[in-house]
Amino acid sequence: MARSKTTKQSTVLESYNPATGEPLGSVPVTSPDEVAESLALARRAQRRWASLSPGERGARLKEFSKILLREADDVCARISAENGKTRQEALITEVLPTVDLINYYGKRADKFLKPKKIPLHLFKHRGSYIHYVPRGVVGIIAPWNFPFAIPIGETICALIAGNAVVLKPSEMTPLIAAYARSAMIRSGLPADLFQIIQGGPEVGKALVEAEPDMICFTGSVNGGRKVAEACGARLIPCVTELGGKAPAIICPDADMERTVSALAWGGFANSGQVCASVERVYAPASIHDDLVNRLVKKVRELRQGDPSSFDTDVGAICLPQQMDVVQELIDDAVANGAVVECGGNADSRSLGYFFEPTVLSNVNQNMRVAREEIFGPVIPIIKVDDVETALEYANDSHLGLTAYVFTRDRRKGRALAEKVEAGTVMVNDVMSTYGMPETPWHGIKNSGIGFVHSEDGLRGMCQMRHVHYERIPGIRRELWWYPYSRKTYQGIMKLMRVAFSKRSL
């Protein structure tokens, strides 16, 4: 985590370990003039970078991947110290997916970004194709909960697509992004191609006002609305990922052991500070009590404490203000009849920011904890009559990023998943698809617009341009060109009737 400090010379962001309060380092806050200068430097560097093929760009970034592999333990330690997640979570949710993403797109970029032929069904004498052109400079405004995987993953995609990048990391986690840039430069990447600007919302505002060619924003719904509005006024394309309220629908035939393990990890990984965290569980009455008992037993076995320890399961809260949000939602739920089965309070034994993994029962659909994003280690469980009611409640939300279904019946699971209103619905698993670059990551409703990852996510970092050309030379004029006449009118009418007659169809 970080906080700003004003000196006689400038304003700096000082970063502290949220688990211990230990100072980690500082970075200067970027001024509006410096933001514009960074964008200009990136734009100049991008022109040369864009002249390389996608495969050549991927090969250049492979050197960065090699550095990450060599320094992976140090990178995990840096992420854990600044963000508060455990070392293992830093590895499996931040470093490993980034290395995989570099290699995945690096090997396939030429294929994904090659021109795409468009077969014309009617005008066979003409041809069409799509080709993909880098947008220019992509601005990235990143969150604090995944300070490496999200901004660096998006940076890699933008670079492989031929763009330059100006990244504003969260003001809460400024140091790991600075490390990533230094590692890229050490790998041979042109220094001006990847710029980092540091600061709070005012620096993000300055980035949009400097008019990059695309913006990728990950953050709150309110923040995303402001960014999208500012981009819309300037006709800047933007992708926004704005959080979620992921429901888990537990079918009566679910494998209870796997389900409970998934819910525990899905609710408490990164101390619940994941936009895809399990934030509400719908359990039919026939299995409700068994599910609650098993989950509470599992949660009480979790070890919370020093994130740098390899024996710790649940780490610290990165954003101190989030402690108050989590406590307020729990207190409101209890005041309205919810029962705290375990946890429920901040951990007062530590100097850092820790909140006990919490399970709530006797929650109803109208409680704030069931409707507002918690972004903390809390799992509310709602008893329902049947799976149909669970589906109805799951869809009763203004957010729609991810959702989960648990059942032994794979066919039924997929059929139910298709009815859930979310960008990604997983069956018998939680959260992991962000780490699979083949799959798109996106939300519906207020969870955002656009998407990242997948083939189409990489193409989205480009302008899609259409070329239309002649396939048969020597045709002097098209039938529909001037001059008009009764003869051409009747000829077109005849051709239309022949082409679209029942026999032709």
Active-site residue list: 241, 275
CB 141, CB 199: distance < 8 Å? no
- The residues, any chain, with a CB within 8 Å of residue 246's CB and separated by 6 or more, are 266, 276, 277, 278, 279, 280, 401, 402, 403, 404, 422, 430
Ordered strands of the 11-16 beta sheet? 2-6, 11-16, 23-28
Distance CA 72, CA 180 (A): 12
CB 142, CB 169: distance < 8 Å? yes
**Residue with tokens 């931040």, as numbered in its chain:** 94
CB 38, CB 166: distance < 8 Å? yes
Q: Which residues of 405-421 are buried (b: 16+ CB within 10 A; e: fewer)?
A: bbbeeeeebeebbeebb
- Residue of 441, 468, 393 whose CA lies nearest to 146: 441
Question: Strand ranges (DSSP E) for 114-266?
Answer: 116-118, 126-134, 137-141, 164-168, 194-196, 214-218, 238-241, 246-250
CB atoms within 10 A of CB 90: 31
**Residue with tokens 């410096």, as numbered in its chain:** 34
Helix runs in 219-276, H state only: 221-234, 256-268
**Residue with tokens 């009418």, as numbered in its chain:** 493
CB 179, CB 148: distance < 8 Å? no
Distance CA 232, CA 216 (A): 13
Region for residue 163 given its phi and psi (left: phi exceeds 0; alpha: psi -120 to 50; beta: otherwise):
beta
**399-400/444-445 β-pairing:** antiparallel
13: part of which helix (H) or strand (E)? strand 11-16
Distance CA 243, CA 245 (A): 7
